Structure 1
Amino acid sequence: MYDFLFQYYPYSAGQLETWHPAPHEALEDSAPARERFNAPVYVAANGVIQRDLRAVSHDARTKLSGVREMLLATRERAPNFGCFGMHEWAMVYRGHDIRHAHIAPLRLPQHDVDALVESRPVACSHFDAFRFFAPDAKPLNRLPLAYATRYDREQPGCIHANMDLYRWAFGAMPWIGSDLLFACFTLASDLRVLDMEAGPYDLRAMGFEPVRIETAEGRDEYQRRQQAFAERAAVLRDELIDCLGECC
């Protein structure tokens, strides 16, 4: 369940635990503080230690500016709350690459999994989920997705786009501060749970009850939780956009 957050996202637990102040915070100048918060990221002057934004390289500014523009575009698009987590089912369509079979069995027989994929609208807007679809499932997706335009379909209802706020946050460290980073990580962790609970795998032995999206009740539950997470993500996306605007 949670290993994904350190396998898919290239940011270690040690990096996550290394604290940095928020952009508006300054540290009291002292010898121990200077040892930990030093050049080129930090500068000490007038009894305080603060970030030195002059240390952000041109390449880093260009990259962070691109991330900010993508987040702004995502924020302006209409959210879609009708995907119901079908991406995980499309990944194992017709028995293709059942990645977690050695840990957890499928909740339904393979023919029922296939029938569900064929009977429901598949409307994945996130390329990094779509690219793991079984080959036979990719033509079933209602949205054309390609690597070159992978961010053009990002929308604020998508649980993976909202999970990826963590990616954009750790890519902007230490400039945005650890409070925002950890809030994005916590959201990603909670979204990961919904992602897997709504998937085709049976995780009850690990203490996770399924969200049965094959039923109307399960789809309602998924949609309610997805909308609540999108509200949390909107706040963090705004904070991240503001912080990136200050450093790029």
Structure 2
Amino acid sequence: MRQPVHAEQLAASEWRRRAIAHQARADALTAPHRTRKASGERHPIDDFLYDYYTVKPSLLRRWHPGPGIVLAAAQDGPAEHAGWRWYRADDDGAVALDVAAFLADRGDTVAHIHELLAATAARPAHTGCFGLHEWAMVYRQDDTRRRHSLPLRLGREGTDAVVESHPLRCTHFDAFRFFTPDAVPRNRDLLSRDTQVATEQPGCLHANMDCLKWALKLGPATPGDLLLDCFELARDIRTLDMQASPYDVSSLGEPAVAIETPEGKAEYVRRQRDFAARANVLRARLLASCDRALHPFHAGAALRQGG
């Protein structure tokens, strides 16, 4: 198996240490969800990550080293990765991601993710949306068709009034596509999947939450620690997303961020900027993972030359 020129080999003791630490961290992050699921309990905030992104706790606890990392054989044989999809073992038992095989199946996906993330990272962050996408999803909608069973904090008329008194500036298609028919024409731009690369921007809560989506889609090209960092960010963003929504989340022990007030708007923007800063770091790391997968040999040459 030809390895990239910048391949790093981890001794068995080291990759096992990393894998065990990763599993423990993943188990701690998913413990509340697993407990609820065992009892049939639902949580409108936390369950979103598992439902929308089809996250499985077993998937989160699977540690991947990422492209260009070779796992040396242990005394009892090669790493278990040798039996996983897109991995190969050398004659000496060393195991690494077979980038060529991975790209043969997922190359178009990796290239698209790289294009989208790079375009998003290159734009300035816009912070004037105030989370109104969630309000637009229930605007003038029959209460029986709402996505959540939680009551509306301001009632039906009060919720619609907030939408009607604020401009809608959503830039994220996967939020926009859930707008009610009456809310769609109120948005500044009519978004589509075809224009997503041209409209995604790093101040958007959902674009930053989607770092988890792209980490999952990159599969074994995403190092384990990066995947869990993206999960934690998405979990934290989701909390603000619902706190600032029209739903009353007090029954979940969460205070409202009343974006219809000046104080609520200020808090939303402050936290939005903090999340954007965290997401920028993760987005850069995801881009680096894409680069290592797409250009493994060129990346090694660049590293040797100080590039």
The 8 Å contact of residues 94 and 114 in structure 1, kept in 2 or not, is answered as yes
Match of 2:147 among 99, 122, 130: 99
Q: 18-27 vs 78-87, which deviates more?
A: 18-27
| SS state at 1:93 partner | coil
The 8 Å contact of residues 139 and 183 in structure 2, kept in 1 or not, is answered as yes
Match of 2:97 among 51, 54, 67: 51
Partner Cα separation in structure 2 for residue 181 and residue 23 of structure 1: 14
Are 1:129 and 2:175 matched, yes or no? Answer: yes
Letter in 1 for 2:148: H
| SS state at 1:50 partner | strand
The 8 Å contact of residues 81 and 157 in structure 1, kept in 2 or not, is answered as yes
The 8 Å contact of residues 22 and 179 in structure 1, kept in 2 or not, is answered as no
Partner deviation per Cα, 1:73-131 (whole Å, 9 max, x = no partner): 11111211000000111111113432213xx2110021111111000111000111111
Partner Cα separation in structure 1 for residue 52 and residue 291 of structure 2: 27
The 8 Å contact of residues 173 and 192 in structure 2, kept in 1 or not, is answered as yes
- Matched length: 246
Which residue number in structure 1 is paired with residue 132 of structure 2?
86
Q: Within 5 Å, which residues of 2 pair with 1:13-32? A: 13-23=57-67, 25-30=69-74
Inter-CA distance 177–227: structure 2 relative to 1 (3 Å threshold): same
Match of 2:224 among 157, 175, 178: 178
Partner deviation per Cα, 1:196-232 (whole Å, 9 max, x = no partner): 0000111111111100001000000000000000000
The 8 Å contact of residues 184 and 190 in structure 2, kept in 1 or not, is answered as no
Q: Percent identity among equivalent residues?
A: 45
Partner deviation per Cα, 1:8-46 (whole Å, 9 max, x = no partner): 112322111111224454433126562511054142465
Are 1:236 and 2:282 matched, yes or no? Answer: yes
Match of 1:11 among 39, 42, 55: 55
Which residue number in structure 1 is paired with residue 293 of structure 2?
247
Which residue number in structure 2 is paired with residue 198 of structure 1?
244
Structure 2: gaps (5+ residues): 1-44, 295-307
Inter-CA distance 86–57: structure 2 relative to 1 (3 Å threshold): same
Are 1:213 and 2:264 matched, yes or no? Answer: no
Letter in 2 for 1:191: I
Partner Cα separation in structure 2 for residue 33 and residue 68 of structure 1: 35
The 8 Å contact of residues 34 and 44 in structure 1, kept in 2 or not, is answered as no
Which residue number in structure 2 is paired with residue 155 of structure 1?
201
Q: 177-186 vs 19-28, which deviates more?
A: 19-28
Letter in 2 for 1:160: H
Letter in 2 for 1:30: A
Partner deviation per Cα, 1:122-145 (whole Å, 9 max, x = no partner): 100011111111110111101121
| SS state at 1:38 partner | helix
Q: TM-score, normalised by structure 1?
A: 0.93
Letter in 1 for 2:186: L
Structure 1: gaps (5+ residues): none
| SS state at 2:89 partner | strand
Partner Cα separation in structure 1 for residue 258 and residue 127 of structure 2: 16
Which residue number in structure 1 is paired with residue 87 of structure 2?
41
